[in-house]
Structure 1
């Protein structure tokens, strides 16, 4: 019997692998696409834009498809990360039809969406659906309010829901609306062409509390706009698309971790009208990060309808509706600096023509919808594993001390605690996929960690701990006098102002700041700014 002794090269390879593992260096994982469900007419069909997927408290994904079902009017579905699929509700004449919207998750644990057609006035509606599948129509649109909503509403920080209609209103070009949880409706803005027309994508609430969105048409050049609207309804155009920098915007805006907004345009750009990926600063400066080539000269893809998602690795991921190796669309990654990579080219047999924005599940994988292809040709639900690990998400992502916070993830039955920056413990109640906590005293802006018996999970975004000014003393004084400001979350303060004048200040503690009344100050309110936001005093300081 012969014995094979390991060669020196073999030993060197083994030693290298063991050394890598001992140092905790991760080995790159293969990127994997999986068709996890094929749509067919009886069980819903053809998911389309916006097609938002929402992760529920139970860890499953929820969405809608505008066609198919028992009456052919579309419905709402639930799908587990492993592909287990069920139809929760089939739409009918009474409850509406053709829900293109997809769903968003409310703080009550229910989901919210919109039907493009039907309702009391046959012009669309907004609905709420429970995880068990019980639907309530919250509002049916009339012609003057706006009609034919594509996008689902989103819940604002004030507890109201905000959304858009693609048509109707005073000029027939769409509107922005506010809806209370009880169905109280207010039309905030009627598009007039000058400010844009035909909004398709879902709104985004920015860190400043305002809402941001896009229109497909209208604006100065007729190619669409990007806009900001306050909760009170004051709308400002941030950018008029001119084809060179993009045209025909179906996608929503996404506010990145750097504070800038990112999105896509289906058409326009520098390469044969193939569409673009862009960055837009709050100061209204737009930069094209990537132009798609409509001629098919590259395999990068072309004509993106869907928006972007910023993943747990800080990069942006999205899909193009066409092009790629097979002409069926692509899944891509792009960095903040504009470095573009094609990760997958769609194949008709497992899903094609992807037009809905991806969703990164807290297990690290991306999930999305293809409108066509699949076994029955009516579209597919898919997952894409880019090798990113599990994490947790937070709702909301900002708040004051004591603010309730929802945490979504997995493996929470192994949880041993929650920590806010800088390692401040917080009490929690949890299931395996959902946890509730509140912002603890002395927490500062930063990531939130869920401690497990073996390791921890980190939030994909920083939680912004918002400061609060509760008072100051004295209530009046001359320039050069000192004022003690009291409140919460002052650690790391970057600015104190009396009216519009910056003051010299010292942070004494988490709850106290001493500031000097600055030259040029006049009677007005005191503001304290930290990395978590800006707090304004309730009363004015009187400058003698």
Structure 2
């Protein structure tokens, strides 16, 4: 039996600044861990298709399942060693990282493993780390990328000379692993670009992955960590170096990409000149970092945030500090930690709960919002058995649905998690109605419709509408276009899917000034002045679609001046579609000298040997021939 379940409830009345509505914040201890059985929680939580929460514990190396009300079921207590949480894959299995375990030795212990677990708790090893080029001691589970592969980091290893610690050579790696288990090292940290990555990767809307390192990073001052970007193929760039003096130090916990497109995270130490208790920071995708909250060294705000922040469905950021606050626990007064909320701008900061020992101490599990609207987390210490607690914060937020993938093309199947799904009568992606299959009351699938638009998904259920917590990006596609060639001013019909929100059409990279959205599957555009022979592109909020085929911009000669002349005469040829001119002929004889002045003008020199006849211009789009003949004198 697991330790006895105890409920400790603290209710706070909090008023959002500028709002008239009062929301009750209810903190509840759902479970007290027992050191003789398992605990405390460690790493990230994941919601399964059954609406239960899954995670791992530090001691006795357990994997557990919790109902949303706190009823625990142990699933495994031996396969993962020091697990750091799990991620739900689109195949319904959970994928996790265990810091120790495996068959290879690193220092005084084993190097760690990646594991896969079924919903029923059957665990298999997914990858056995060697401590060499594949890294060692994986920190947090891998995440599933939009390409279906898994991406993660190890805290040590990589077999580089820099950052060696405890007999393990290297400061960690970024890796990719396919569902079949094929492992690829994408990047080895070398000290100058960071050491000892901590937290979980996050995939941005641009398709790249973002993460942090806890140490090193040396442009001029160094040692306090980095924020980096890495592509699915391993293209790596440091976006920000954390300085030793002033500003955030030692980023810790996962990054998130919020609804405004920026990345948010926490630094365990540092702050401005008056503070030293850590920070919450914001970073633009290009790397500009702004501190939005400084935790004073002595304050009821709390100190040492180590678990990142979560953006809930009210748009605010929620997080925890490991110490500080007003509670008393095993560490003494003002040492138990806090649970806080703030806006994306850092405004309206408020402590929602001061941990007290009885309600747990030193929260270090990243907050997770369940589709019932509540936030869940865990503490490392205290509670009834002094081994940490599993808790819930009910902040008055509505139930929602969670999409397993956040972008896709028409025809793609999207998995949806939630509750009360039985009896669903409609699913829409933006304004487009989707076909769907309700698998259970907590899990269903839907097919992205050709008429879908980039927006939140909405479900009509017997208990009322449910809206997805995040926007789904409908990726546009171009299936065909007709005609396949034409001069400037030609009307071209482009067919595809997801075209309702078209904001831009290009021909060879040149923007069309006139286009009409006829249907979600059809756009009519006019070939613009200056258009080049090349691909047709369509831009929507969901992305950019590029045609497989090439549209040929056919050149036109409308006139030339003078109309006669001897070899060596300079002739100005006017028309359209002339920007890509590769050849000019006079009576079939190629000019050796010509200049493309613009899309509507080419200046050519009558070549030696030219004969009276038509002037012709050749481009990648074809050949234009003048109506009149040029007379060679």
Identify the range of structure 1 (238-247 vs 313-322) with the bigger mean alpha-carbon deviation: 238-247
1:236-293 Cα deviation digits (max 9, x unpaired): 1121122533111112211111111111111111143211111111122111111111
1:174 to 168, 172, 175: 172
* d(CA) in 1 for partners of 2:506, 2:368: 40
Q: Which residue is equivalent to 2:45? A: 53
Written as runs of structure 1 = structure 2, the 5 A alignment for 1:134-153 is 134-142=122-130, 143-153=132-142
Q: Which residue is equivalent to 1:375? A: 384
RMSD: 1.9
1:251 to 237, 247, 253: 253
Written as runs of structure 1 = structure 2, the 5 A alignment for 1:98-497 is 98-99=82-83, 101-121=84-104, 122-142=110-130, 143-171=132-160, 172-220=170-218, 221-243=222-244, 244-270=246-272, 271-294=274-297, 296=298, 298-326=299-327, 327-339=335-347, 340-422=349-431, 424-497=433-506
Cα deviation for residue 420 of structure 1 reads: 2.8
Residue 512 (structure 2) pairs with residue 529 (structure 1): no
Cα deviation for residue 515 of structure 1 reads: 2.8
Cα deviation for residue 64 of structure 1 reads: 0.3
Identify the range of structure 1 (74-83 vs 418-427) with the bigger mean alpha-carbon deviation: 418-427
1:420-443 Cα deviation digits (max 9, x unpaired): 322625332231111111112312
* d(CA) in 1 for partners of 2:442, 2:179: 25
* d(CA) in 1 for partners of 2:64, 2:133: 31
Q: Which residue is equivalent to 1:34? A: 28
Identify the range of structure 1 (264-273 vs 420-429) with the bigger mean alpha-carbon deviation: 420-429
* d(CA) in 2 for partners of 1:429, 1:455: 16
* d(CA) in 1 for partners of 2:411, 2:133: 41
Cα deviation for residue 83 of structure 1 reads: 0.9
Kept in 1, the 8 Å contact 2:422–2:438? The answer is: no
Cα deviation for residue 116 of structure 1 reads: 0.6
CA pair 57-170 structure 1, distance change in 2 beyond 3 A: same
Kept in 1, the 8 Å contact 2:52–2:66? The answer is: yes
* d(CA) in 2 for partners of 1:151, 1:144: 19
* d(CA) in 1 for partners of 2:234, 2:129: 18
* d(CA) in 2 for partners of 1:173, 1:359: 29
Cα deviation for residue 90 of structure 1 reads: 0.9
Kept in 2, the 8 Å contact 1:417–1:428? The answer is: no
Kept in 1, the 8 Å contact 2:476–2:497? The answer is: yes
Cα deviation for residue 26 of structure 1 reads: 9.9
Cα deviation for residue 321 of structure 1 reads: 0.8
Kept in 2, the 8 Å contact 1:418–1:428? The answer is: no
Structure with the greater alpha carbon radius of gyration: 2
TM-score (norm 1): 0.89
CA pair 96-384 structure 1, distance change in 2 beyond 3 A: closer
* d(CA) in 1 for partners of 2:82, 2:66: 19
* d(CA) in 2 for partners of 1:239, 1:497: 35
* d(CA) in 1 for partners of 2:300, 2:98: 35
* d(CA) in 2 for partners of 1:425, 1:37: 40
Residue 81 (structure 2) pairs with residue 97 (structure 1): yes
* d(CA) in 1 for partners of 2:424, 2:199: 37
Bigger RCO of structures 1 and 2 (CA < 8 A, at least 6 apart): 1
* d(CA) in 2 for partners of 1:411, 1:96: 33
Kept in 2, the 8 Å contact 1:475–1:542? The answer is: yes
Cα deviation for residue 507 of structure 1 reads: 2.1
Residue 95 of structure 2 aligns to a residue in which SS? Answer: strand
* d(CA) in 2 for partners of 1:113, 1:155: 11
Kept in 2, the 8 Å contact 1:307–1:356? The answer is: no
Kept in 2, the 8 Å contact 1:28–1:387? The answer is: no
Cα deviation for residue 347 of structure 1 reads: 1.3
Structure holding more strand per residue: 2
CA pair 444-355 structure 1, distance change in 2 beyond 3 A: same
* d(CA) in 2 for partners of 1:488, 1:434: 27
Kept in 1, the 8 Å contact 2:434–2:447? The answer is: no
Residue 490 (structure 2) pairs with residue 506 (structure 1): no
Structure holding more helix per residue: 1
Cα deviation for residue 518 of structure 1 reads: 4.1
| Unaligned stretches of 5+ residues in structure 1 | 1-24, 69-73
